[in-house]
Amino acid sequence: MKSTAYRHLTADDVQQLVAQGCSATDWQGVTVANGIDLRQVRNAKFSGKVRLGVFEKSFTMPGGLEKHSGINSATLHNVTIGDNCLIENIKNYIANYEIEEDSYIENVDIILVDKPTSFGNGVEASVLIETGGREVLIHDRLTAHEAYIEAMYRHRPDIVGRLQEMARRYAESKTSDVGHIGRAVTIVDAGYIKNVWIGDYCKIEGTGRLKNGTIVSNEHAPVHIGYGVVLDDFIIQSGTCIEDGTMMSRCFVGQNCRMGHTYSASDSLFFSNCQGENGEACAIFAGPFTVTHHKSTLLIAGMFSFMNAGSGSNQSNHMYKLGPIHQGHLERGAKTTSNSYILWPARVGAFSLVMGRLVGNIDSTDMPFSYLIEDHGSTFLAPAINLKSVGTIRDSQKWPKRDGRKDPVRLDQINYNLLSPYTMQKALRGLRTLENLRETCGPTSDTYAYRNTKITNSALCRGIKLYDIAITKFLGNSVINRVEDKCPASDEELRTILAPDSPEGSGEWVDISGLIAPKQMIERLIADVVSGDIEDVLALNARFEAIHKKYYDLEWTWAYEILLDYFGLDAETITRQDVIDIIERWIKAVKFIDEAVYADAKKEFSLSSKTGFGADGSKFDVEADFEQVRGVFESNSFVKAVVEHIANKSTLGQKVISQLKGNG
C-alpha cells in the first residue's frame, strides 16, 4: 500500500455520505485520502477502521462498458481501499483486508480474515503416504528440491527437522490478522474467500471457495482462478491457471501450472509447468512437467517428473491389509500408456515406458530408457530400447520450449538434459548388469530374471549395444564441448585443456526433482542446513540456484573421470589420437541413434497409420487425404531436424578431429 495522506470526515462529508445511502457504526473510524470524490461512494456500510483512497479513474469492461471507480452496495469492516478501486455489490461483507490500488471487486459473497493466519504457509501435505510419514510443509517460496529432501530424506531426521523448522519460521513471518489484495486485482462473481493473501494482477472470477491460502500473482506472471474452483489450505504460484471446477485441498501448485476440467487433488505437490485435467490426484509429488489429461486417470502416492500419464493410468498403494502405506517412484521422463497399472511399491527407471499391469513390485531404476510390458501376468523388461524412440527425443526437445514461466524469480532449477551424469551412471550400471547376467546365466538362455522382471535374450543383447552407444554419445558430447576450437598443439597441451577446473562433480549424481547434481554437493548443502550456515528458505533457494548454474563444469569433472575408465585411458598419457578415436566412435553413435529415431518416425507414415483416411475414396484418395492432414514424411519438421542433426554432428566431429590433427 503506497503512502497516502488521510483525513477525517467533516460534518458535511458525513451528511453527503448519509444522503447517498451510507452508514457507519462510528464515523470517526472512517478516514479518506485528500482529494477524494465522495460522490463515488454510495450505499456503503462502514465498521471499525476504514480508509478510502481517491476515485479518479474508470474501468473499461469487456464489450466497451465503462465503470467509474468507487464503492457501491458494500459493507466494509476494518478495510483499507487503495486509489482507484471499484468495490461493488458485495452480498455479505469485506473484513480485515488491505486492498491495493486499481483493483476491481464485484458481485462477491464474502471476503474476510477472521483470525491471525499464515495464509496457507506451514500447512502439512501428506505426500506419498496418505497416512503420514513424509509430510511436507508448504509455503510460498517452496521449491521442488526442498520438498524432495523434506519428503525423501527421512533417514536423516536432522535435515527434515531443520527444513520444517525453517518452513514454520517462514510461516510465522507471514502471519497476520489483516489480509492482502494486491494491485490491479480482479475478483468478480466469486463466493467465499477467507484468510487468503492475493498478489498483484490476479484474476478471480466465478470461484466457489478459497480458504486459507496464498496466491503469488504478479504483473509479469498473473494468476487466474476460474469458475467453480474450490481451494482449501493451498499455495498457488505465479503464472498458474486453475479453472473449470477444479477442487484441491492441502496442495501446492507451482509456477506456470495448468489445472482444469474438474480436476481434483488432495495432499499433493505440483511443481513448475505441471498440467492436471479431468482426473484425480492423491498424495502425489508431481515434479516439473508432470502431465495428466484424462478423466479416467488416477495418480496416487507416487513421485513423478517430466511424466505423461496415459488414459486410465492407475496405481495402488494398498499392497496388503495395513492401509494405504505404500509409495512408488517413476523417475524423470517415465511414461504410462493407456490402461496401465502399477502396484506400489515400485520404482521405474528414467525415461521408461510402462505398458499393461505391473504387479510384481518391480525396480528398474538401474535400467533407464526401457520398456516395461506385461505379458500373461509377467513383466518383461526391454532395456535401453527407448533410446531409439522418436517420442523420447521429441519429449526432451519440447520441455524447454514449454517452460512458460514469466516470473523473473524462477523457484525450481530445472535441468532438461536427456543424457546427463544422472542417467549415464544408471546406463553404466545397467550395462554391467546385463553383461553379468549374460555371463552368469549363459549367452544362450532364453530369458533372464532381473528384479521381478524378465529380459529376453534378444532384448539383453540389444540393451548392451544401446547402452554402450548412449554412453559413447554422452562422453563424446562432453569431450567435444571441452576441446572444440582449442586446437592443442601437443598432447601435453591437450591434457591441460582436458583437466577439470574443479574436483567437484565426481562420484554419484542425484536428481532432486528437476535439479541434477552431484550427491556430494547435496550432502554438503544438507550439512550446512543442519549446522545453521543456511538459515532460511531464501538462502536455501539461492544455494540450489548456485548448484544448478555450475552444472556443466561439474558434468565435465564426472564425464572426464568416466571417459578415462570407460575407454581404458590415463590422464597422464592420453593423446590427441585417443580423443580422435573417441570422436570417431561418437560420430557413429550419433548416426546410429538418429537413424533409429528416423526409422521410428517413419512408422507414423506407414500404410497402417493411414487407416481411416480417404473416407469413401480409393487408395489414391487415402494418400492425398493423409498428405493434406499429416503432410509428407520427408518434409515433416521433426524428420528434417533429425536429418540435419546427423549432418551437423558429423561436420562438427570432423572439424574437431581436424583441429586435433593441427589443421584447424
**pLDDT 10s digits, 268-297:** 999 999 999 999 999 999 999 999 998 889
Task: Report, in angstroms and rounded to the nearest whole number, the Rg of the chain calculated over CA atoms.
Answer: 30
Q: Answer whether 1-102 and 113-318 agree in fold.
A: yes
Q: How confident is the model at residue 637 (pLDDT cuts 50, 70, 90)?
A: confident
Nearest to 361 by CA among 346, 372, 347, 350: 346
Lowest mean pLDDT among 96-100, 208-212, 430-434, 614-618: 614-618
* pLDDT > 90? residue 664: no
Output 66-72 pairs: Cβ under 8 A, ≥24 positions apart.
Answer: 68/40, 69/40, 70/37, 70/40, 70/41, 70/42, 71/40, 71/41, 71/42, 71/44, 72/41, 72/42, 72/43, 72/44
Between residues 344 and 639, which one has the greater pLDDT?
344
Which tens digit of pLDDT belongs to each residue from 431-445?
999 999 999 998 889
192 beta partners:
110, 209
User: For residues 274 and 286, is the Cβ–Cβ distance under 8 A?
Assistant: yes
pLDDT band for position 504 (50/70/90)? very high
Mean pLDDT of 304-318: 91
Model confidence over 573-627: pLDDT tens digits? 999 999 999 999 999 999 988 888 778 777 777 766 677 777 777 776 667 777 7
Provide the pLDDT for residue 321. 67
**Residue 512, CA distances (Å) to 415, 521, 523 in order:** 10, 12, 12
Q: What is the mean pLDDT of the chain?
A: 93
Which sequence spans correspond to the domains of the chain? Answer: 1-102, 113-318, 410-566, 576-660
Judge residue 467's burial from the number of C-beta atoms within 10 Å of its C-beta, 0-12 exposed, 13-18 middle, 19 or more buried.
Answer: buried
> What is the rounded CA–CA span in Å between residue 366 and residue 566?
18
pLDDT at 580: 94
| pTM of the predicted protein model | 0.94
Residue 639 dihedral angles phi and psi, to the nearest 5°: -60, -45
Pick the CATH number of 1-102 from 3.40.190, 2.160.10, 3.40.50, 1.20.120: 2.160.10
pLDDT of amino acid 524: 97
Tell me what pLDDT residue 648 has: 86
**Cβ-based neighbours of 568, under 8 Å, separated by 6 or more:** none
Q: List pLDDT tens digits, range 318-338.
A: 766 667 778 999 999 999 999
| Residue found by looking up cell 481411416 in the block | 612
Q: What is the mean pLDDT of residues 384-406?
A: 88
What is the pLDDT at residue 635?
Answer: 72
Residues 6+ apart with CB under 8 A from 228: 206, 207, 208, 244, 245, 246
Q: What is the pLDDT of residues 420-476, one digit of tens each?
A: 999 999 999 999 999 999 999 988 899 999 999 999 999 999 999 999 999 999 999
Closest by Cα among 13, 16, 1, 152 to 82: 1
- Residues 640-654: tens digit of each pLDDT: 777 787 788 889 889
Cell numbers linked to 662: 593441427
CA distance 652 to 396: 22
CA dist 489 → 482, 513, 595 (Å): 15, 43, 35
Mean pLDDT of the region 657-662: 87
- The answer to whether the CB of 331 falls within 8 A of the CB of 368 is yes
Confidence tier at 567 by pLDDT (50, 70, 90): very high
Domain 113-318 has CATH 1.20.1070: no
User: Under a CB-based contact definition with an 8 Å cutoff, are residues 421 and 558 in contact?
Assistant: yes
pLDDT tens, position by position, 66-85: 999 999 999 999 999 999 99
